[in-house]
Each structure stands twice: as C-alpha cells, then as structure tokens.
Structure 1
Amino acid sequence: MLNIPGLAGIIVFYFLILAIGVYAAWKRRNKGGDSDEVMLAGRSIGPFVGVLTMTATWVGGGYINGTAEKVYDKGLIWCQAPFGYALSLAVGGMFFAKPMRKAGYVTMLDPLQNAFGRRMGGLLYFPALMGETFWSAAILSALGSTLAVILDIDNTVSILVSAAIAVAYTLFGGLYSVAYTDVVQLFFIFVGLWLSVPYSMTNEAVGSLALNETNWLGSIEPSSPEWGLWIDYWLLLICGGIPWQVYFQRVLSSRSPRHAQILSYTASFGCIISAVPACIIGAVAKATDWSSTTYGHEPEGYQVKLVLPLVMQYLTPSWVAFIGLGAVSAAVMSSADSSVLSASSMFARNIYKNVFRQQASEVEVIWVMRAAIVVVAAIACTIGILINSIYYLFKLCGDLVYVILFPQLLMVVHFREYVNTYGSFVAFCLGFLVRLLGGEPYIGVPPTIHYPFFDETTGQQNFPFRTVAMLVSLSSLILFSAIAKALFTRGVLPARYDICRCFDLLPRHKDELEELASSTLTRTAQLPSGKEDSSPLKAAEKNLYKPRPEENGNGPIV
C-alpha cells in the first residue's frame, strides 16, 4: 500500500534540493559562458565547501546501502569498499592532488591526452566512463530499493524520478550547483543515519551484538585461499579509487594546490566516519530475529541489498524511517549528480572538443556536455534497474579503472619521460585482455586463466588476479614505451613508421647541427680531468632526435 505521508515527505525533500541547485545556478548565471566555470565552478571552491562536496560525493547510496549489505552478508572484515575508497582519497592527496592542481588541468584525461595524444586519450575515456556509469548505477539502485521498501513505490519509478531531479539542477548549474546541494545532502546523510542507529539497536527484535552471539565481524581462516582475494580488493579499492574524474573535479576546482591536498585528507576522514553508522546498521540486521518482525523472515537472495531500508522500516519508528529515507535519497543525489557531470565533462572536453572539433566554441562545448549528462544518466538508470547487487556494482566500477587507468595516470604524472603512445596502447590492450581472461562470473565471463588457488566448484579466483592484470598493464606501458623509443631514436625503424608522431625524427638544419657540435666541444673541454671526453660530433648526433613539442596542449596527434 502506498505510504502517503512518506511520499509527501520525500517530495518536499526533493523540491528543497532542486530549489537549492537551481538557486546556485542562478547565482552564477552571468558566468555560464565558460566551460571551466561549469565544469570546475571557476576554480573558486573553498576548503569548507570542498571538503563537504568531496565527502558527499563518495558517501553515496551505494556507499551506505552497500556497506550495510556486506556487513550483514559476510561481516565487517569483507566490507572493504567504503574504507578502501576513503583511504584512496588520502593516497590521492599525497601523490596526485598537488601536481594535478598545480598544472591547471580541467579534467583527469588532460595529462593523458597531453602525453599520449588526443585519440589515445579518447580511448582511455572508455574505462573512465564505465567507472562513473557503474558508480551512478549502484547508487540509483540503492535509492530504488529504499523507496520500494519504505514508501512502497515501484523501483523503476523511484530511480527515474531521482535521476531526473539530480540531472535537472546539474544541467544548468554545473559543479557549482552540485557542490552547494552536496552541503545540504551531507547534513541529511549524517543526521538520518545516526538517528536510525539507537532506535534500531534498542528494538526488541534485535539480539546481542556481542561477537560470541552475533558474528558481525566475519572471518577468514588463516589457511584460507581467500586471503589473496581479500588483498586484491584492498589494492583495487585504494589504487583504483584514485583515477576518477569525480575526485579530480573537486581537486581541480580548489583554489590552490595546497587546498586540494587538504581537501583530500579531510574528506578521507569524513568518509570513514560516515561509514560507521551503516556498518552498525548491518550488524543490527545480522542480530535481528526477523521472524518476530512484521517483515516475517530473514532477508535472502536479492533482498540482502535491502538490509538498510528494511532496518529503517521495521526496526525504527515511522518518523525516523522517513528521516533515514531522506538520508539515503540525499546520498544518492549527491553522488549521482557528481558522476554524470564528471563523465559528461570528460566527453565534452576530451572527446568532442579535443578529438572531433578542436574549433568548437565554449558555448558549444557546454551544450554538448549538457546533452551528455542526459545520456549518461539514462544509461546509469538502465543498469541500476537491471542489476541486483548494490555492493557488486560498487566494486565492479573500479575494476577497469584500477587495471587500465591507474598505471597510465601514475606514469604520466610522475614519470612522464619514460612513457609514450605506443606503450600506452599496448598497456591498454594487454591490461584489458589479462583482466578479461581472469573471468567475471557475475556478467557471464568464464575464467580462461586458472590462477593459483582457483576454486573449481564456484569458479572463483582466490589469487590477486586484478592486481596481476594491473602490473601487466604497468610493466608493458614502461617496457613497450622504452622499446618504441629505442627503435625510433636509434634509427632501427625509419621516421615514416612513427605513425603516432611521438618523436621528431627529422634531422635539424646543418647550421644548427654545427652550432650544437661547437657548443658541445666547449662544454666537454671544461670537463674535470679523469672524465671521459666524448666526441662533440657524437654528442651532437645524440640530439638529432627530440620529443615532438606538445601541440596546443594536446600532445602528439594520434
């Protein structure tokens, strides 16, 4: 039966969020002609709003619903996603936030396109797009299940309406609207979750939370082969949680590189704190005698993803459940709007403008971004409706980001001189292939490679095979970049085969070469005694080959 009071409450909440988003967009109406203004809020996000919007972005519906689901299903020890992603913020702040913000990039793909060319950078957009889309799908799925339980609203309808609200204010306000709605949404998340905890814990249907009576902690046997899988997920979440535009959009919108670092560290702490009430709710669900509630039976199968809304609905008073529902709705929209904006920003700037229409105006780029927002939101809605497990979506979105994007971004930001387009393409292909050969049973991809400790019964890989795929991608990026550089700069392959134009292999003018030889002779004559005095001509010849200068900030044309 439709819950009329609850429906009225959620409509009021949605209008409140929409009004805040529209108001934020209206305040910046005179600055909307610049794509940087829409994508990065004019790089004017201060520390306070920055921390709140970063925290709210990660603490989405998948974050809190998936956390409760996993604690109930397998225990806290297997609930790695929220804590792994929180730690990734700290690692990102330590190694990536400052150099990325200092360079003044607009999207995460900018350094990749600068290093590898427009088209290779465009290819790297696809794993980023899949990550953002699966992330949005996870959180929309979380909201659909929550509204279905508490308000008795159809899952599909709730997902579509929520996505439409988030898209509406994101379309015209960009990051500025997203950031300011995040501040309000994070407040609802914090209050709604913590208010649900004491009421649910004191319900008469809930037993003791002592570990000897309710093993909410979970366990892994010391000799269990699952340790490899457990370690694999930790590495995936920490390292794979870095190359996300939704993260770098906040970093790059900060007022300074130092603010970007502070934002990352503080948001990491905020994300861990926000996961605590969801963990407690999952433990409460595990300690509950569900047969003594009006629900009547233990959640199982697809119902496991409903654990958090079930606790709110059946173990707390109605008014608390409504506030908790506001918390979940806030969490969903605070993440959904950020993800669709991130994926759309990369498409408009790095694909449409950099690859297809370099002469596109700022207004044209903005309208392409708005169209992309609608398309990405529609795809995320479809996936969220069709796939059951919230927590699985939550982790799956990081797989290709970890395997493909993390090695490429790491090398480009910190070791640019060791990589080029040839290595990038080979690394993309090999990383994707090795990951695919490891299998993914949930989407029907059987494992072709059986790594050590493979479980023949369940088809589960218990070896850190995702990390193996990432290391293959990283090592092939370095190795094949070095091979390509050696082949071309040493003249093994003629210049006409440098199809990616990574190297300027045309000899310099004769006068320039003679001048270079003369200057080299002067320098070598001044070497301290005992040092090898190499031939000036040889030294000049070594400089015949030089990396091609970046063209208009877009690197080599690939």
Structure 2
Amino acid sequence: MSSNNIVPLAIIIFFISSLVLVGHIASKKINSAEDYLVANRGAPLFLVVGTVFATFWGGGTIIGGSGSAFQDGLYGVIEDPFAAGLSLIIIGLFFVKTLRKLKINSVGEIYTHRFGTTTGYVASAVMIPTFVIWTAVQLLAVGKIFTVLFEFNFYLSYMIALIVIVLFTYMGGLLAVIWTDFIQMIVIFIGLILLLVIGYTAAGGLEEIVLHTPDNFWQFIPSEKGLMPWITYISMWAGMALGNVSSPDIAQRALMAKDGKTAQKGMIISGSLYWIFGFIPVFLALIAHTLISTGVLDGNLFAQDSELLIPYLAKELLNPVLLGIFISSLIGAILSSASTSLFATAVIFSNDIIYPLFFKNKKEEATDKNHLLKITRYCVILTGVLAALVGLMSSNIYDMTVFAFTLQFGVLFFPFIVALKTRWATSYGVIAGMLGGLLVNVIGGAMQGAIIPEPWEFFTLVPPLVNITLIVLVSFFTKKSDQSKPLEDLYFTK
C-alpha cells in the first residue's frame, strides 16, 4: 500500500468508527421491539428526509449510475435516479398517509391482517430476494472502491464492509440507521459537490465539457422508430418507479415518522432531492469524457468496467485529505443503503415470519422477554450472510440494482395496491398473483442459469401482467369462500 493512502484511509477509518459509535449510542436507547423496529414512531421531518434520501442514494446510483451515464448518457440512467425518484413522490402522494395510520411494525403485517397468515408469509418471503440483492449491491460497491483506490484485496474489502454494516445495524436497529443516514446525507452532499467542482475545473470549464460531450448524450426519449424502443422505455420507468412503491424499507420510513403529514412531506422532498442530485453522476461522466479526450485521464483504466469511473476520477483529481473526505462520503452513501436494506430484510424475517410462526400463541410471554428484539438482531446477521453470498454471484452493480426492484414490481406492486385500496381481492387471488409473478422470473433465471434473465423488458413487464391477471381471475372465482377483511377494520388508529 502506498504512503499516499495513509491519510485518506485514516479519515475513512475515523468516519466508519463514528458510524459504529452512533450504533452503539442508539443501542442504549433501545428498550423495546418497537424502539428497534420503528424508532418509536417519533421521527421529525429532517430525519425522515435524511434517511429516505440516504437510503436511496447508494452504490447503485453513484458508482453504477456514473458508469451507465458514461456508456449511454442520460438515457442510461432513467431507471436510477429518475424513475426511482418518481417512486418516492408517488408513495408520498398516494400511500404514505394510509401507511402511517396503521399500527404495524412492517409492511408484511398488512398482508397478514388483510388476507390472513398464509398470505402474510408468502408476501414476506417474496420480499426477501429484492433486499438481499440490494444489500449485495452495496457490498460490491465497497469492494470495488477499496480495490481501485487502495489496492486492497477485493474479498477482504467485501468482508470488512459486511462486518461494519452488520455491526451498527445489529446494535441500534432503525434508530441507528436513521441517525447515521442523516449524518451520511450531509457528508454525501459535501463529497459529491467537492468532486464535481474540482472535476469541472480540471476539465477546463463549461466550453471544454460541451465540446467533448458525446453525440446524443442528453437523449431522454427513444430516438429509434417502432414499437420495441417504446416498450423498452416504458420498462425502464415502470420497473424502478413502481417496483419501489411496495418496498418494506419505504414503509418503515412512513411508520417511524411522527405523523402522516411529516411522512408525506418527507417522501416528496426526498424524491425531489434525488432528482436534483441525480444529475451529479451524469455530470461526472461528462467530465470523465472530457478528461479522457484531453489526455488527463486514461480511459483504459475502466474500459472493462465503467463502474470504476468514480474511484479513478477521485484518485486522479483529489489530494489525500480531499480523497479521504470524498471516499468517506461515498462509503457513507453505500453503508446507508446497505444498512437500510439489511434491516428491512431482517424485520421481514423476524416480525413477519419467525415471530408469528413460533410465538403465535405465546404473544404475552414473547413480548415480556423481548424475543422479537432478539430475533430481529439475529436476523440482521443472517441477512448479511445471505447478501454476501449473492453478491459474489454477479459484479454489475447498476444492473443488479435495477433488477432487484424490477423483481419486486412483478411480484408485489399489485398485491400492495389491492391490499391498501380495494375490497374485492381475496387471499387466494393475492397468493396466486404473487407466486405467478415470481415464477416467471424464476423460470427465466433457471433456464438461462443467471440471476438477471434476458430479455429484461420481458421480465419487467410480463410478471406484473401475470400477477394482476391471476389476482383478478382467482379472486372472482374464490369470492364466496374467502375470509379476507377490510383494512380499515383492523389497524387504523382512532
């Protein structure tokens, strides 16, 4: 390791240690399962905005997004950040107030109380793959950063990231996650603006950047004629914009807010910020094109993997102190997303599957002994291990990010809508829809021997169509035998 790496590494170690310390402090304030799972439902607006933005703004957006923008321009990043940012606004406008009125600890409980325990188990089980994949994405991002910048062994970096994420999430639960998210959001802003300003200067200013902008870089709609380009375009928006709507991590942010109005404002503000700051990786990709064209940066460094653009750009342009600050902001963004997805998955395992299965008839005893709290902490570790294994099966960060939520779109978007907004759907219909949507992806992946089946447009749009078709048809034929309950009869506060 070069002596030039000592200063940035020291800054990064200090930053990561601070996050672990926050987790330790938060753990002292955990007195119940509700404290751990939903932060005692008292978060103010600034914490809601901080945690939602930092949750979305992870390795897929910064590392993956800059690489995709470098290759394909603005058109290459429609899914994330633009479709993803739209999802936050949709959630804020149409769903978050309803969620905040429910006395639940996780989104899985909606399916349980609306359609019965079997539906709740199935819904919770099919949520897990999305968030295990998303956690894996963040671990991959950390591995790539440390490998490029400090010549660390990739697998060592990968394991260090895993241990840190599991450690502070295990200790402080959602309370630790939202406070570290808020801190990380501030550091993210500082780091990205820092690299953008220095990169802009190094590139020679606006005239040079415009001169070296690739043709069609700012294309935002299909330029080719025919139906297929528009099917692709619709798939790009639908997978991320609608796939995020039913996300359990977003529901947790609604549940933790002090009231429905705070939750709604937080989502809309976060989505707007996500769009604004989403242009930064795009501009950094433009700066990289300019620096390569003028001979300042060697394009061969990331010719095989464009997702290494940001680490190489930072290494080339920043002095050791600024490099340490920027990489800390980058690591902070990644850890924020990782801890959120890790925690959301752990809550699904514990609150929606293990706890009701094993303590269904012992609720009072389990509550007294705080079994739910202990189970969730163990599930944090379990989820971390699963994510680590999945991450080693694929190395493309951006594609894995998009696929994770595309999978959720095909399986859970329509069940989430009918659970919250309708009375006609039955438990049989919802189960058939979820399993049908999932089965399309499973068959595609099995036939191709890949996590992400192709053509991706087919596996974005067909699963949700199968899903809603089965929900409607099976619900129609099972209406008389169904015992599902209206949501308002269950958990609305008075």
Same fold by TM-score greater than 0.5: yes
* Alpha-carbon offset, residue 118 of structure 1: 1.3
* Alpha-carbon offset, residue 40 of structure 1: 0.4
- Residue 390 of structure 2 corresponds to residue 383 of structure 1: yes
- Residue 255 of structure 2 corresponds to residue 252 of structure 1: yes
Q: 1:549 to 1:92 in 2, by over 3 A?
A: closer
Q: 1:186 to 1:430 in 2, by over 3 A?
A: same
Correspondence for 2:118: 119
Which deviates further from its counterpart, 404-413 or 113-122? Answer: 113-122
* Alpha-carbon offset, residue 401 of structure 1: 0.7
Aligned-partner Cα distance in 2 for 1:352–1:277:
42
Q: Does the 8 Å CA contact 1:229/1:464 hold for their aligned counterparts?
A: no
Q: Does the 8 Å CA contact 2:115/2:485 hold for their aligned counterparts?
A: no
- Residue 41 of structure 2 corresponds to residue 53 of structure 1: no
- Residue 148 of structure 2 corresponds to residue 146 of structure 1: no
SS at match of 2:208: coil
Which of the numbers 407, 427, 440 marks the counterpart of 2:414?
A: 407
Q: Does the 8 Å CA contact 2:96/2:251 hold for their aligned counterparts?
A: yes
What stretches of structure 1 of length at least 5 have no aligned partner?
Answer: 448-458, 489-501, 504-546
Aligned-partner Cα distance in 1 for 2:451–2:348:
29
- Residue 461 of structure 2 corresponds to residue 467 of structure 1: yes
Q: Does the 8 Å CA contact 2:49/2:266 hold for their aligned counterparts?
A: yes
* Alpha-carbon offset, residue 229 of structure 1: 1.3
* Alpha-carbon offset, residue 58 of structure 1: 0.8
For normalisation by structure 1, the TM-score amounts to: 0.80
Q: Does the 8 Å CA contact 1:78/1:230 hold for their aligned counterparts?
A: no
Aligned length: 478
What code does the residue aligned with 1:288 have? L
* Alpha-carbon offset, residue 227 of structure 1: 2.7
Correspondence for 1:509: none
For normalisation by structure 2, the TM-score amounts to: 0.90
Correspondence for 1:480: 474
Q: Which residues in structure 2 correspond to 1:62-81 (within 5 Å)?
A: 62-80=60-78, 81=80
Correspondence for 2:323: 321
The one-character-per-residue Cα deviations of 1:403-461 (angstroms, maximum 9, x if unpaired) are 1111100000000x2111111122123222344566699853797xxxxxxxxxxx646
Q: Does the 8 Å CA contact 1:150/1:321 hold for their aligned counterparts?
A: no
Q: Does the 8 Å CA contact 2:203/2:209 hold for their aligned counterparts?
A: no
Which deviates further from its counterpart, 205-214 or 271-280? Answer: 205-214
- Residue 260 of structure 2 corresponds to residue 266 of structure 1: no
What code does the residue aligned with 2:186 have? F
The one-character-per-residue Cα deviations of 1:223-278 (angstroms, maximum 9, x if unpaired) are 16333112112011111011111111110111111111111111111222232222
Which of the numbers 216, 222, 233 marks the counterpart of 1:230?
A: 233
Aligned-partner Cα distance in 2 for 1:151–1:446:
30
Aligned-partner Cα distance in 2 for 1:15–1:39:
23
The one-character-per-residue Cα deviations of 1:76-103 (angstroms, maximum 9, x if unpaired) are 1120211111110110111110111112
* Alpha-carbon offset, residue 395 of structure 1: 0.5
What code does the residue aligned with 1:424 have? V
SS at match of 1:277: helix
Correspondence for 2:192: 193
Q: Does the 8 Å CA contact 1:291/1:297 hold for their aligned counterparts?
A: no
What stretches of structure 2 of length at least 5 have no aligned partner?
Answer: none
Q: Does the 8 Å CA contact 1:232/1:465 hold for their aligned counterparts?
A: no
Correspondence for 1:352: 354
Correspondence for 1:518: none
* Alpha-carbon offset, residue 298 of structure 1: 5.2
What code does the residue aligned with 1:474 have? I
Aligned-partner Cα distance in 2 for 1:41–1:72:
39
Correspondence for 2:209: 209
What code does the residue aligned with 1:217 have? W
Aligned-partner Cα distance in 2 for 1:270–1:405:
26
What code does the residue aligned with 1:25 have? S
Higher relative contact order (CA 8 A, sep 6+): 2
Q: Which residues in structure 2 correspond to 1:436-475 (within 5 Å)?
A: 436=442, 444=450, 460=455, 466-475=460-469
Correspondence for 1:285: 288
Percent identity (aligned)? 23
Aligned-partner Cα distance in 2 for 1:234–1:55:
19
Computing the radius of gyration over CA atoms, which structure comes out larger, 1 or 2? 1
